[in-house]
Amino acid sequence: QQPVQSPQAVILREGEDAVINCSSSKALYSVHWYRQKHGEAPVFLMILLKGGEQMRHEKISASFNEKKQQSSLYLTASQLSYSGTYFCGFSGNDYKLSFGAGTTVTVRA
């Protein structure tokens, strides 16, 4: 079952912040975040493990609430290079990694 990701799309001006949320109906072992530019393959941003710390990639950070089975990605002081589609991926006790439908982020000058 795919994670539920929101919002579907967000438009920002450079320097603004945004939050992308992801939730699951199954128990989670880890949360992955990827970014995909148009016409390209998804690229890894970070992994958050059960019981682990909040992670950071440049000015992008993420949190993982194991009890609520939710994760959030925080885009801080957004840059033009942050534009793209962001996917959360959830993994449980098996080896499957299921992705959400994606959030399209557009950062404008």
Residues that bind other proteins (CB under 8 A): 1-2, 5, 29-30, 32, 34, 40-44, 47, 49, 87, 89, 91, 94-102
Dihedral, CA of residue 46, residue 52, residue 58 and residue 62, to nearest 10? 80
The residue among 2 and 13 lying less far from other proteins, judged by its C-beta, is 2
Would you call 95 exposed, middle or buried from its count of C-beta atoms within 10 A (0-12, 13-18, 19+)? Answer: exposed
Query: Least distance in Å: CB of 32 to other proteins?
Result: 7
- The tokens for 29 are 């072992």
Residue 42: phi and psi, rounded to 5, are -60, 145
Query: Least distance in Å: CB of 54 to other proteins?
Result: 17
Contact 36, 87 (CB under 8 A): yes
Query: Least distance in Å: CB of 16 to other proteins?
Result: 24
Query: Least distance in Å: CB of 50 to other proteins?
Result: 10
The residue among 15 and 52 lying less far from other proteins, judged by its C-beta, is 52
